[in-house]
Amino acid sequence: MNNQNNLQARDSFATRLGLVLAAAGSAIGLGNVWKFPYITGENGGAAFILVYLICIALIGLPVMVAELSVGRKAGKSTVSAFKKFAPKSVWITGGVTGVLAALLIMFYYPVIAGWAFAYVFKSLFSGLTTLSPEGIGEFFGNYISGIEEPIFWQLVVVIITCWILVGGVKDGIEKWSKLLMPTLFVILVILVIRSLTLQGAAKGVAFLWYPDFSKLTMHGVLTALGHSFFTLSLGMGIMVTYGSYVSKSEDLSKTAIMVTIADTSIALMAGLAIFPAVFAFGFEPGHGPGLVFVTLPAVFSKMPLGSIFSALFFLLLGIAALTSTMSLTEVVVAYLVDEHNWSRTKSIITTGIVFFIFGVPASLAMGPWAELKFFGLNYFDLLDYFSSNILLPLGGLLVALFVGFRWGVQGAIDEVSNGGKIKSSFINLYGFVIKYIAPVLILIVFLNALGLLDKL
Ligand code: PHE
């Protein structure tokens, strides 16, 4: 055995479907069901979606292929992969930013995931959907600024995530993704049908379908660019880590295309579940982050069996978040296993404890600690800003540059085409896009995140 795994064979995905569902599970998360609908609502609907789709094709897809191929070639999770390719060089930063981003995201992401699970019970048993729209707004404000309850649900999310990961790649991530992703899909289909069959739904469909470019601003374009990154879970080594669990015969570009299509379809379906209902009941689409937690329960309150549909929706949101927290946690765990030779269980338990200790202040930042500010942001916003706006684009930029200029396009294409066995026009274009187009676009996202493009 001349490879790196001298003690035991590396755990891996058993089937292509398992890999695609796990990677899609990572990609499909709060970004699709919570964030995409509200940023679409704020930025004028269809025109924004069009720009978003272009960004997905031009940066998202190539960077995902790049990450998967780096991981598979190295057979290692993110930091070790960069180290293996380019020992003792600055390229290791590409891996370190990923592990750091995963940690920071996991301090706050379970807070929102926890709200979703709490809302399932609030819808079913606490009469959430019997309140007036103002009452729901007030309820939400009181709930998130509370102490014990949100922290309890945050802890539940961390514990379930860790428990699933103890099973490993095949018997943990893959098995649960195969169960949770179809469940998510079925719930979403039910909600889309419900929403589309409401009287007055057509206005919501038109909002998503007919582009009104007069509503599209430069800010909207940059938001689309940044979101295309977050929604595909790029720039933080998740796909590098998952790539290291993939067999050499797998067609990586096909995998990436399937994951990208799944992620985009779910985001669009979430839009179709939300906007027709919002318009049908005369609510406003541009309500920002409160769209799903305040506007939607108000929409459900006007429907027959609203509490059931509301519970289903928040279950969907919770499941989507859970398959993402699995992948985020895996990045940190795989790093500890590969780099520090820790056992998987020890890595998971330690990581879980760290997530919780540093995560509690993120929940408290919604209430008692709201005024505790760093650089003008509370702890929650700071984590979100620093990870999504700085570390992810930086990680993505480094991966693209690494593949384009350090590893070299030829080597990368060789890996993606399985040594020339797979031929496709996508692979032919890939070299040019990953070397020039993707880095330039990512750089724009990055400069924007740093506030350097504000004058535009
Ligand atoms: N892609 C996930 C979503 O859309 C979020 C995420 C980002 C997950 C980065 C992992 C890494 O919600």
3-state secondary structure of 61: helix
pLDDT exceeds cutoff 90 at 404: yes
How large is the average pLDDT for residues 256-273? 95
Q: Calculate how far, in angstroms, residue 29's C-alpha sits from the geometric centre of ligand 1.
A: 6
For residues 349 and 289, give the distance between their C-alpha atoms in angstroms, rounded to a whole number: 32
- Specify the residue with its C-alpha closest to ligand 1, atom 11: 233
CA distances from 454 to 4, 127, 376, 409 (A): 47, 44, 18, 34
Q: How confident is the model at residue 2 (pLDDT cuts 50, 70, 90)?
A: very low
Is the model's pLDDT at 11 over the cut of 50? yes
Ligand 1 mutation target, pool 35, 104, 231, 330, most atoms within 8 A of CB = 231
Q: How far is the CA of 209 from the centre of ligand 1 (A)?
A: 25
pLDDT of residue 221: 85
Q: Residue 224 Cα, ligand 1 centroid: separation in angstroms?
A: 15
Using CA atoms, how far apart are residues 38 and 31, in angstroms rounded to an integer?
10
Q: How far does the centroid of ligand 1 lie from the alpha carbon of residue 386, in Å? A: 14
* Model confidence band, residue 60 (pLDDT cutoffs 50, 70, 90): very high
Helices (H), 281-391: 290, 296-301, 306-340, 344-364, 379-384
Q: Which two three-digit tokens encode residue 312?
A: 């289903």
Distance 87 CA to ligand 1 centre (A): 29
pLDDT band of 63, cuts 50, 70, 90: very high
Nearest CA to ligand 1 atom 7: 233
Q: State the pLDDT at residue 8.
A: 54
Residues near ligand 1 (Cβ within 6 A): 26-27, 29-32, 105, 230-231, 233, 236, 238, 324, 327-328
Residue 89 makes CB contacts below 8 A (sequence gap 6+) with: none
Cα–Cα distance for residue pair 209/50, rounded to 1 Å: 9
Would you place residue 1 in the very low, low, confident or very high pLDDT band (cuts 50, 70, 90)? very low
Q: Is the pTM of this model over 0.95?
A: no
